[in-house]
Amino acid sequence: MANRDNPMGLRPAYHLTGGVIRQQVYSIASAYGTGIWSGDLVHVVDTSRNIEAGDGAGDAPFIGVFAGCEYSDASGNKIFSRQWLASTATLGSVDAVAYVYDDPNIVWIIQADGALAVTDVWRQADLAYTAGSTVTGQSKTELDYSNLGTGKNFHVYGIYDHPENTAGSTNVDVLVLINEHSLVNGGATQYEEVT
């Protein structure tokens, strides 16, 4: 059975050590010019905990995965959203509150853009970024199958066990760990690939 082509960014599957999966508070600068969608990787850009979109493999190390934000818009309306729309101006140019899953021990589900097989488990790959949906607020980031074995952003931890998910077919959902995480080893690669 063919897998459905439905990229949704990164979704938490479970905690590697049995811990609780929860969001932490970061911030987004008012009028920040790049969209961020729920399920997108993000990175910290300065000492004030401001985040920006991790829209390329070169943006590593990542602090985690964006879950949503809240802010007061320029008219004073309180906004709660699964996405940050590019160049949103906040009331008084105050930073927006951003919610981020920043625990490096979260195991994530992500769709691969190629036919990743069981024999590819324990290898590494980078992200394949596509801007998310402004309708649903959901990310469209995928695992980049073309650089499996040469990329470093993700460590492939397994194939997601689901009846409608077939290993070895295009668009397979896989389990990954964020390999280049800001809170581990100073952002250096934390898992070695087995060949």
Residue-range definition of the domain harbouring residue 143: 104-187
Handedness of CA 137, 143, 153, 22 (dihedral sign): positive
Answer yes or no: is 8 within a domain.
Answer: no
Q: Taking residues 54-78, what's their average pLDDT? A: 95
Answer yes or no: is 64 within a domain.
Answer: yes
Please check whether residues 85 and 115 belong to one and the same domain.
no
DSSP string, 48-108: T-BEEE--SGGGPSB-EEEEEEEEEBTTS-EEEESEE-TTPPBGGGPPEEEEEE--TTEEE
Tokens of 193: 């690939």
Please check whether residues 111 and 181 belong to one and the same domain.
yes
Rounded percentage of the chain residues whose pLDDT exceeds 90: 89
Query: Which residue, 43, 76, 101, sits at the end of a domain?
Result: 101
At 185, the amino acid letter reads N
- Render pLDDT for 78-118 as a digit per residue (tens, 0 to 9): 999 999 999 999 999 999 999 999 999 999 999 999 999 99
Please check whether residues 87 and 114 belong to one and the same domain.
no
Please check whether residues 173 and 119 belong to one and the same domain.
yes
- Render pLDDT for 5-31 as a digit per residue (tens, 0 to 9): 999 999 999 999 999 999 999 999 999
- Domain count across the chain: 2
